[in-house]
Amino acid sequence: MRVIRTIKEMTDWVDAAKGPIALVPTQGCLHHGHESLLHAAKQDADIQGSVVMSLFVNPLQFRKPAYEAYPRQEQQDLELAENAGVDVVFAPEVCGMYPKARDLDWLFDLQNGQSGPRDRERFTIDHPEDTPEFEYVRVPQRLTHRMDGIDHPWHFDGVATVVRKLFQIIQPNTSYFGLKDIQQLAILQSLNLWMGSPTKIVPIPVVRDHDGLSSSSRLVLLDDEQRSIACQVVEFLNEASRQIRSSRNSVPDVLEGFRDACESIETEHNTLEIDALTYSDSTTLEELDDYSKNGVLYLAYIINGIRLAETLSQ
């Protein structure tokens, strides 16, 4: 397995590559969910193709304190990638990935909307006034002003900017994203169409631990009581999903019932807060009042400051 640190070296490798390229974009701190993306990429790349995994903690999608606190474990991640059959890990420095950016703080400042207004319907590329060579993708309001985007729409601008750049550098035939991050997936599919990109985006089902919680790097932060609260929340969510499928009650009623059920969970030392709860179309992200086979139930909840998310497709 080769580790590449610069765009120049990466594009040279792409120019010389024979066969299809399957790309798994990551920010490291790999868990079972990433392993399933790598496994799918490996199967598609077959004997002739190559699997590239990017490993880059993207400052554009975090506030500065969260970026600094983000867990980094490169050695462990490289071992996991090698065991999963990855051929190349692309792990650039921030200044290598964004050579036109002035510095790290300048990247964080972009999140404050200084680069221009967001369109309601269309993707746009902004060129900040002081650095016109920098290309910052703005995701339309119709996709950002929902679910996790309500509080931080800039997060998805950061994701779209980095994924567009990775696609331009690596020119993958296929790229793999988890259904767990349903808003990210819908935005990237829409971005891909808008870019007229030849890359096929492959959605990968949610991977769950033995007790039903979806894999996440944050699960290790939970103590026993917190984990048991999370399991009860997921049980209630599964029940809500069953009720929506059976169409016995309207979606708003089911969601209200879910909130009531969560309030009844007894905790000794913890707080439980529902941060986002929606039933939406998985492509347009528009909220639905009735069952749809394209519907997806999304929940973000916070147990004593630890934010977790669940996605249940219908």
Residues annotated as catalytic (active site), given as ranges: 34
Task: Compute the half-sphere exposure of residue 44: CA atoms within 13 Å on the CB side of its CA.
Answer: 22
Window 174-233: residues binding ligand PAF (CB under 6 A): 181, 184
Q: Between 31 and 245, whose beta carbon lies closer to ligand PAF? A: 31
For residue 58, the minimal CB distance to ligand PAF (Å) is 4
For residue 55, the minimal CB distance to ligand PAF (Å) is 9
295 neighbors 245 (Cβ within 8 angstroms): no
Binding to ligand PAF by CB under 6 A, coded x per residue (else -) over 127-156, reads: ------------------------------
Residues shown for the chain: 314
From CA 164, how far away is CA 11, in angstroms rounded? Answer: 15
Q: Is 159 in the site for ligand PAF (CB under 6 A)?
A: yes
Angle between helices 251-263 and 224-246 (to 10 degrees): 160
Residues 273, 204, 21: CA angle, nearest 5 degrees: 135
Q: Is 25 in the site for ligand PAF (CB under 6 A)?
A: yes
Nearest residue to ligand PAF, scored by beta-carbon proximity? 25
Of these, 162, 185, 277, 285, which contacts ligand PAF (CB under 6 A)? 162
Amino acid, single-letter form, for residue 166: L
Provide the b/e sequence for 58-71 (b: ≥16 CB within 10 Å).
bbbbbeeeebeeee
Window 37-76: residues binding ligand PAF (CB under 6 A): 58, 61
Amino acid, single-letter form, for residue 23: L
Q: Is 107 in the site for ligand PAF (CB under 6 A)?
A: no
Q: Please give the backbone phi and psi of residue 308, each rounded to the nearest 5 degrees, phi first.
A: -125, 160
For residue 31, the minimal CB distance to ligand PAF (Å) is 11
What is the DSSP secondary-structure string of 15-30? HH--S-EEEEEE-S--
Kindly determine how many residues on this chain lie close enough to bind ligand PAF according to the rule CB under 6 A: 10
For residue 248, the minimal CB distance to ligand PAF (Å) is 35
Q: How far is CA 15 from CA 21, 164, 192, in A?
A: 11, 18, 22
Spell out where the chain has E strands.
2-4, 21-26, 50-55, 88-90, 124-126, 136-138, 174-178, 200-204, 272-281, 295-303, 306-313
For residue 193, the minimal CB distance to ligand PAF (Å) is 17
Q: Between 27 and 111, whose beta carbon lies closer to ligand PAF? A: 27
Of these, 26, 144, 183, 214, which contacts ligand PAF (CB under 6 A)? 26
For residue 129, the minimal CB distance to ligand PAF (Å) is 25
Q: Among 87-95, 114-122, 157-165, 280-288, which window interacts with ligand PAF (CB under 6 A)?
A: 157-165
Q: Is 163 in the site for ligand PAF (CB under 6 A)?
A: yes
Residues forming contacts to ligand PAF in the complex (CB under 6 A) are 25-27, 58, 61, 159, 162-163, 181, 184
